[in-house]
Amino acid sequence: MALFSELPAVRKRETGSAVAHYIAGVLDRQSMISIVEALCHSAFFKPGDRVKTLKGTLRGEIIETLDDGRAKWQAETGTVFLTLPESLVADD
């Protein structure tokens, strides 16, 4: 995992999980590659960007980027969250 040493801890953990699932045969190669590529992209979002949580359980839209670097986003359920952008990925 030294290859991913510069990733934030939460993204590094999810990258390791994707690779482990591929090795275990639970995840196909293309899915693993897509997940790792998405996690390696910079986490900079602007209002209006569609996002989802790292595990894909919630989807929504960025409302605002705060001065301290956190992102304010609204899930499709209507709930508004404040989070670090590293805990989100772009929802294509």
pLDDT band at 48 (very low <50, low <70, confident <90, very high): very high
Q: What pLDDT was estimated at residue 58?
A: 94
Beta strand 80-83 pairing with 88-90: unpaired
Asked whether the whole model's pTM tops 0.85, one would answer no
pLDDT in tens, 55-87: 889 999 999 988 887 889 999 999 999 988 888
pLDDT band at 11 (very low <50, low <70, confident <90, very high): confident
Instruction: Give the domain 43-92 fold.
Output: SH3 type barrels. (2.30.30)
Locate CATH 2.30.30.140 in the chain. 43-92
Asked if pLDDT for residue 30 goes beyond 60, the answer is: yes
CA 68 to chain centre: 19
